[in-house]
Amino acid sequence: MSVKFLIAHFEDLVVAGGAAAVVAGGAAAYEPAVAPSIPPLLVTLSDSNANRIIFSAASEHEFIQLADQWIACQLAESVESEALALFELTVVRSLDKDLVQGKIVYCDDATASGLGQIDAGAVGSIMKSSSPYGELESPFPLPVSLMGAATGDKVLEYINSTKNPTAVISKTTDSTDSNSSSPHPDLTAPGLNILAAWTQANPLTDQTGDTRIVPYNIISGTSMSCPHVSGAAAYVKTFHPNWSPAAIKSALMTTARPLTVKDNADAEFAYGSGQIYPSRAVDPGLVYDAGESDYVKLLCGQGYTTKQLRLVTGDDSVCSTTTNGTVWDLNYPSFALSSSTPANSVTRVFRRTVTNVGKAVSSYKATVNGPSGPSGLKVEVVPDVLNFKSVGEKQEFVVTVTAALGIVTLSGSLVWSDGSHVVRSPIVAFVA
């Protein structure tokens, strides 16, 4: 999506090494509209919720009616307490042992480590989370039920409504929930509350006294998104062993499930092309392919010298007037334009080539959707119909985008469809 680079390609070991890689963007690793680098072998990711959740419902008496709303910490053992102790902050030695001993402690702060509860003799804890990304499970050294702010408030209401509140923290199970996204670029993939392999060389947490050794753990972050997309890329490769990394990347991006600002207010700078959809990526219809010559033009256009270029290519490539390209003409499956000044009208012309990998004889019609932001985004596609006669045939088209930029990012999408395939590319205009 971006034309600003944080890393020179000849300093990027992934590029220089020539290995395909899927990279975790990190929730705050890069500012919006900044890419670490855009080689064909690199896919940058954000993390999103999967369609299953790990929960350990606290239930008994009045709690039973809320059980299906509660998200809890993984690896919890079944415990119960005849009483709940209420505290707003649970740090080590901050709790009264006489009040806490043998009880489940309610904490109005999910950042607590659990050591305070253990130190005071608690048998478990219920914690309210205020995370903007939903209920993020984490390992704790004692049984914990972690829940969102709204449900946590209901628990607090219950505690305050009875003289002797009681609770049970049940053993962890799993369930299903709807998908949503949380903060990054090319794609987003499941990365929140992932049941992942865990080294048995270390205990479950880094808390003093925790000696539990387990083969699995619940982990969140873009590092969990990476294996999903790596596996998806390998999956696509098994169907199309001769496809280039750029073609596979295009297939993953153009078939992703679209997301909206309702999923994340940062829009495409949070989730890129959308939520990965591997089964669709096997049959994308069209791909935006790119080879070495395309990237040579890109790098030369970015001001690389011949010496710097050869550090990337490893051959005798030369930067010259014939190899001097622009970043917006890279055959990439997305379109972005920017201005450094708000209230400024910007026009950008993008030249693209798509390769037919679907039906031999097919006709694709272009449709422009959006913008999802305020009005001010005009998109023209020429030609707006592409007719193919064979698999592997290439067709060129030109996209002209004009944006009247304000302080709000404008976004839409270009969709090519033959009636059975939907090849979608995001279009974004923003103030850099």
Tell me the per-residue pLDDT of 45-68, one tens digit each, with 9 for 90 and over: 555 555 544 444 443 322 222 222
Residue with more model confidence, 108 or 398? 398
- Rounded CA Rg of the chain: 26
Local confidence band at 104 (pLDDT 50, 70, 90 cut-offs): confident
300, burial (CB in 10 Å: exposed 0-12, middle 13-18, buried 19+): buried
- Cβ count near 122 (within 10 Å): 27
Bridge partner residues of 396 (DSSP):
353
Alpha helix positions (H), 283-380: 292-301, 306-313
How far from chain centre, in Å, is Cα 254? 15
d(CA 190, CA 51): 8
Percentage of the chain lying above the pLDDT 70 cut: 68
Task: Give the per-residue pLDDT at 17.
Answer: 42
Task: Give the per-residue pLDDT at 31.
Answer: 53
State the amino acid at position 399 in one-letter form. Answer: V
Between 117-126, 188-197, 388-397, the lowest mean confidence (pLDDT) is in 117-126
Local confidence band at 255 (pLDDT 50, 70, 90 cut-offs): very high
Between 95-109, 207-221, 227-241, 324-338, the lowest mean confidence (pLDDT) is in 95-109
| Residues 411/268, Cβ–Cβ less than 8 Å | yes
| Residues 342/39, Cβ–Cβ less than 8 Å | no
Q: Strand, helix or coil at 389?
A: coil
Average pLDDT for 109-121: 68
Cβ within 8 Å of residue 49, ≥6 positions away: 134, 177, 178, 179, 180, 181, 182, 190, 192, 193
Residue with more model confidence, 410 or 90? 410
> Could you identify the residue written with the tokens 């499930």?
257
Provide the whole-model pTM: 0.66
d(CA 375, CA 411): 10
Task: Give the per-residue pLDDT at 45.
Answer: 58
Predicted confidence (pLDDT) at residue 234 exceeds the cutoff of 90 = yes
Task: Give the per-residue pLDDT at 37.
Answer: 47
Local confidence band at 305 (pLDDT 50, 70, 90 cut-offs): confident
Average pLDDT for 93-99: 68
